[in-house]
Structure 1
């Protein structure tokens, strides 16, 4: 399926705000039904989204060398932020999943990158932007410009979290940054 950058590096974390597509990404990558802690939302539903992750999502995928890759999904709500350092411990990298429909996309991205860097400085990150299919003319230009203005140069991709091949592409991009 994917190439393993280092047989000791087996933990990947999918991070991002509520509703961005983290759980969907993990489900599309998984070869078996992932462990999910989805519960009904206590706040108002977000469109079709009526559940949210309250602990973490987890799945295992076998890499090319038959080494298991453990995929963890962070809960996106800030009230679960106390769990993030525990889940991020030992990760070789993070896919930051963002929703293209977020009107504050650049700020949300920078906020998440700041928190991730505070928890695990220097951890490799790739940004995957979902739900671009719902926009008339999606563009990542403003996001890339906002990051560049802060001296941040990271791979930024659009992908459909429901599509295994596209989700795999984002993971491969993360692995390539480590080569």
Structure 2
């Protein structure tokens, strides 16, 4: 796949989107996590949040180690973004499709990622669409068009290893194509 022994991928997005869950579902080892109890209400049954980062690894068939990092979603931990994104070959922007503000979160996170890691390859993975009958993928695609971004956008279940793996394969394809 690459001449590197390891590549770094970052999962980014708002609180409750499924970043930690996605990393857990696809990792080869239990993730190192900096989760603490939530001090503010969020939708659903979420009781903890990441305050520094999540970290785990995935070994690809060709021997490449993929280092998986998860960013905290809360804005007051935004200073971690530049630190964690340093050296990453790409980012998965994870969004919660059940959140009525999914398009706005997409816009905000794209701007943030561009601010701290301009030009980094990004794919967008949207979770919880199974519980969001009103979800419209077109709204997220419109945000990407407005940002002049052509990138894969897909729905996935962050709890499912195969689906999270597909999101990662999409990112690796985009990142490696950009590297050529």
> 1:95 touches 1:127 (CA, 8 Å); kept in 2?
yes
Q: Give the match for residue 143 of structure 2.
A: 146
Q: Give the match for residue 20 of structure 1.
A: 17
Q: Give the match for residue 38 of structure 1.
A: 35
Distance 1:114 1:84, change over 3 A: same
SS of equivalent to 2:171: helix
* Deviation, structure 1 residue 69: 1.1
Gap runs ≥5 in structure 2? none
Gap runs ≥5 in structure 1? none
* Deviation, structure 1 residue 28: 0.4
SS of equivalent to 2:68: strand
Q: Which range moved further: 11-20 or 44-53?
A: 44-53
Q: Which range moved further: 159-168 or 58-67?
A: 58-67
Distance 1:155 1:75, change over 3 A: same
Q: Which range moved further: 68-77 or 141-150?
A: 141-150
Provide Cα deviations, 1:132-161, integer angstroms capped at 9, x if missing partner.
Answer: 010225431121123213322221000000
SS of equivalent to 2:159: coil
Q: Give the match for residue 120 of structure 1.
A: 117
Q: Give the match for residue 103 of structure 2.
A: 106
Distance 1:154 1:51, change over 3 A: same
Superposed CA RMSD: 1.5
SS of equivalent to 1:128: strand
Q: How many residues align?
A: 176
Distance 1:19 1:122, change over 3 A: same
* Deviation, structure 1 residue 163: 0.5
Higher fraction of strand:
2
- Distance in 2, matches of 1:107 and 1:5, equals 35
Normalising by structure 2, what TM-score? 0.92
